Structure 1
Amino acid sequence: MPRPLRVAIVGAGPAGIYAADALLKSEAAADPGVSIDVFERMPAPFGLIRYGVAPDHPRIKGIITALHQVLDKPQVRLFGNVDYPGDISLDELRSFYDAVIFSTGATADRALGIPGIELDGSYGAADFVSWYDGHPDVPRTWPLEAEKVAVLGVGNVALDVARILAKTADELLPTEIPPNVYDGLKANKALEVHVFGRRGPAQAKFSPMELRELDHSPNIEVIVNPEDIDYDEGSITTRRSNKQADMVAKTLENWAIRDTGDRPHKLFLHFFESPAEILGEDGKVVGLRTERTELDGTGNVRGTGQFTTWDVQSVYRAVGYLSDELPKLPWDVESGTVPDEGGRVIEAGEHMASTYVTGWIRRGPIGLIGHTKGDANETVANLLEDHAQGRLLTPAAPEPEAVEAFLAERQVRYTTWEGWYKLDAAEKALGEPQGRERVKIVEREGMFGASGA
């Protein structure tokens, strides 16, 4: 009697769960069926949604509802707090599954090669995001002593960092932030936040809605210099062909022509300023030096040789995320991705049997969360084609209980989907007395205890 197709998915963020959804909706799910185990190194699922989205964005966190429905399916099991390759290797996964899909995302900061980047007070945005999102593996405190702060980058992560730095702790208290984050933000001394972009308004990577949200806080005055509103032929072409870019540019134009108000915290959006050096004294950040740029006609910019020194005491670089290299898989150092063709992992020009990728580990940390659905669909379609053509490896122990026995023998303390329901209920119970939807549990031991691991 034919057995179900057994698939392991490494990474329980949106990309991995979308891949599970695509498998469940495929013809293979009908007969003889599919059996999916999702492995996640954190004790809780949802990846970027839980540990990468700003707490004041419940609209985006609503995506969890759709992801929940996938993990609720009886064909899917969750193994949380299981690390690849520390707890289970590629060869071991292949011994239990017909195919393995890696969807481990990107959580580290991309490097920025300018002098002074190593100074005390120079931070990666990803580390700061992990702190305010209550990641269990980062310190519980964050130094927020600077009154003037620079944020390098003009994407949504830069906006998140700038907004969290500029808001008051009490504005964020209704969200799910844990007590240590509230206490840290309560002590935040930042009064000015300066966001720097190397190119112009038409090239900014903000989402229109995220940009407009900056102006919703009663405590944040968003300021744009009219001299930074400039377009060349390439910029005009971008605006005509990209509705989102045009909406962003219009918002920035409106802010540039209005009078400055009296909200206590100032958030400046600077364009045509390329970071050249972080200035230090006694090992600490004391300023930022930027070079003024100008458009070259194509939408790109060139340096003008005119430099400005900005009085700031800390600098956050939000110039992109980078994935961690996955042992036993080929790796493209420059892009920080696993080489692939249609989601099939490619090594030395050949498809690595039964091994696939989807999401940011495949294409890099670009695009919105929903864009990973297309990746997942393509990867799963090619996996199923390989299955139909008999190209998948045959696992030695495909029985679902075999991997449970393996983890027990290794003494891996893992969490389950049923455990997530318990953790979810515990976090909601913590928030209820304060009229909050939830208060996030940070410590791993606390998560284990709540989930019954």
Structure 2
Amino acid sequence: MTGSDSKVTAEGSEAESSEAAARRVAIVGAGPSGLFAAQALLGQEELPLEVDVFDRLPTPFGLVRYGVAPDHESIKSVAQALARVFDSPKLRFRGLVQFGDDVTREELLAAYDAVIYAAGASEDTRMNVPGESLPGSRSAREFVAWYCGHPDATAQDLSGVTSAVAVGVGNVALDVARILTRDPAELERTDMPQPVLDVLTTHTVADVWVVGRRGPHHASFTTKELRELCALDGVQVTVDAGAFEGIDEADLDRRTRANVDVLRQAATRVVPEARCRLHFLFWRRPVAIEGDACVRDVQLERTALDAQGRVVGTGDISTLEAQLVLRAIGYRGVPLPGLPFDLERGVIPNREGRITTEDGHPLPREYVVGWIKRGPIGVIGTNKSDAAETVRLLLADLADTPRDDAEDRALLDLDRHLAERGLHPTSYDDWRRIEAAEATRGEGFGRASTKIEAWAELLDLVALDRPGGPPTPADRDG
């Protein structure tokens, strides 16, 4: 054997040894929090790692793809930054895998050295008022999923709707209000599915109400979002009389003061021959939604703060005519099969990302990031520091686990296990096939891209060269 051959063999042995020493981490959820966690894992040099990211959809990016309004292209560009993590040969995307049905908690723990749950918050908070279940009373989450092209979304019918109410004073309420008041021609350059554009182009909504139970200085609007909404062409903005009474701007932080200023200025701007009207109604809360076969009006009660600073009703009731009510008062996490859950907070109990039992005892090798960790607070970027906190603890735990102990625990070959059950996860290449098809569809409409929103089409695209053919949409309902 030559010296060169000896060197190659030695390097190969070293590489194989390094490869064998790599720890395996699974991430359940391919949204921002899960992908930020993957970035943090693969961006460190303390431990060699291999990471698999699972999602029940064949598309990664979660709320960046299906929760950010299509006309906010600057925010959606976050997906481009997140996509760079898939350049790593140490990362695999495993789509069309439903946690709890296709793969269990026990199977993941048998196949990986550590598991991170990044499941988000998929349930909306209800108002719990009479009439909330009437047709026309919906979740803003459902409305957002529809105009973002989520394959699970229910088509939204706006026929006959002339007045719509968004309940809530956060960015989700601003988003749905903006989509309903923006000139549809401006939405045609986005990647909205064509059926959604067809509805928005022909709707007859003339009045949109944003209703909050506190004052404008309590709203959680992002100033940039609020300013954009209040400056839309052809939209007359009104703010109810008395909304600014009692506000001491000296006591406000920078963001809140800016929000109040935006609303004050918008209320003084007169828009001749306005296409539609946008009304901000503060110090009101819905107490009933009325109608026979569908929503007819909303009963609103004037609110105030009691001596302890709590919102209370005053008994002053008014009626607001509306055919559509969208509640945007918050999201909640839902329990994951086999994992502990804090029903009151809607999160998986944890300490800085380490999952614990309801009694506070840490569970080895299981971690959590994102909204299912901390609740539905913060913006997309908040998930980066949140993920970094969890990953630091995970790496410390792995480093404290002797390698021989890990080797003694034979890891389940999950790919083979799934294949034996007829399940074949999709890959990042499959996602790129969907992305290319959306670009091709967009060309037909004179746009850069148009979302494919139908399950059947998505599954057909990822079925190419796939053993067993495509799963059916019914297969994904679980």
**Partner residue of 1:128?**
143
**Partner residue of 1:25?**
43
**Equivalent pairs, count:** 443
Q: Distance in 1 between matches of 2:317 and 2:456?
A: 50
Decide which structure has the larger Cα Rg and report it: 2
**Partner residue of 2:304?**
294
Task: Please say which of residues 201-210 and 270-279 is displaced more in the overlay.
Answer: 270-279
1:47 corresponds, among 62, 66, 69, to: 62
CA contact (8 A) 1:214 1:222 kept: no
Q: Tell me the secondary structure at the aligned position of residue 203 of structure 2.
A: coil
**Partner residue of 2:24?**
6
Aligned letter for 1:201? P
The alpha-carbon distance between structure 1 residues 397 and 161, as it changes in their structure 2 partners (threshold 3 A), is farther
- Offset, 1:108: 2.1
Q: What's the CA shift string for 1:11-62, capped at 9, x where partnerless?
A: 0000000001111122334xxx110000011110000011111111101101
Alignment of 1:294-443 (within 5 A): 294-295=304-305, 301-347=311-357, 348-390=359-401, 394=406, 396-398=409-411, 402-443=413-454
Alignment of 1:13-412 (within 5 A): 13-29=31-47, 33-232=48-247, 236-237=250-251, 239=252, 242-259=253-270, 261-280=272-291, 282-295=292-305, 301-347=311-357, 348-390=359-401, 394=406, 396-398=409-411, 402-412=413-423
Q: Tell me the secondary structure at the aligned position of residue 369 of structure 1.
A: coil
- Offset, 1:189: 2.0
Q: Distance in 1 between matches of 2:342 and 2:180?
A: 34
The alpha-carbon distance between structure 1 residues 261 and 413, as it changes in their structure 2 partners (threshold 3 A), is farther
Aligned letter for 2:449? R
The alpha-carbon distance between structure 1 residues 216 and 398, as it changes in their structure 2 partners (threshold 3 A), is farther
Deviating above 6 A after TM superposition, structure 1's stretches of 4 or more consecutive aligned residues are none
Q: Distance in 1 between matches of 2:152 and 2:445?
A: 26
Q: Tell me the secondary structure at the aligned position of residue 449 of structure 2.
A: coil
Identity of aligned residues (%): 41
Aligned letter for 2:279? F
TM-score (norm 2): 0.88
Q: What's the CA shift string for 1:293-327, capped at 9, x where partnerless?
A: 23557865433221111111221100111222101
Aligned letter for 1:94? L
The alpha-carbon distance between structure 1 residues 204 and 268, as it changes in their structure 2 partners (threshold 3 A), is same
CA contact (8 A) 1:275 1:290 kept: yes
- Offset, 1:397: 4.5
Aligned letter for 1:385? A
Q: Tell me the secondary structure at the aligned position of residue 46 of structure 2.
A: helix
Q: Tell me the secondary structure at the aligned position of residue 387 of structure 1.
A: helix
TM-score (norm 1): 0.93
CA contact (8 A) 2:136 2:325 kept: yes
Q: What's the CA shift string for 1:312-345, capped at 9, x where partnerless?
A: 1221100111222101111111211100001011
Q: Distance in 2 between matches of 1:404 and 1:226?
A: 62
- Offset, 1:261: 3.7
Task: Please say which of residues 6-15 and 297-306 is displaced more in the overlay.
Answer: 297-306
C-alpha RMSD over aligned residues: 2.0
Q: Tell me the secondary structure at the aligned position of residue 134 of structure 1.
A: coil
Q: What's the CA shift string for 1:337-391, capped at 9, x where partnerless?
A: 1000010111032111111100001111111000011110110111111112229
- Offset, 1:232: 4.5
CA contact (8 A) 1:226 1:257 kept: no
Q: Distance in 2 between matches of 1:389 and 1:333?
A: 32
- Offset, 1:394: 4.2
Q: Tell me the secondary structure at the aligned position of residue 381 of structure 2.
A: helix
The alpha-carbon distance between structure 1 residues 391 and 313, as it changes in their structure 2 partners (threshold 3 A), is farther
Q: Tell me the secondary structure at the aligned position of residue 27 of structure 1.
A: coil
Q: Tell me the secondary structure at the aligned position of residue 227 of structure 1.
A: coil
- Offset, 1:442: 1.2
The alpha-carbon distance between structure 1 residues 394 and 87, as it changes in their structure 2 partners (threshold 3 A), is farther
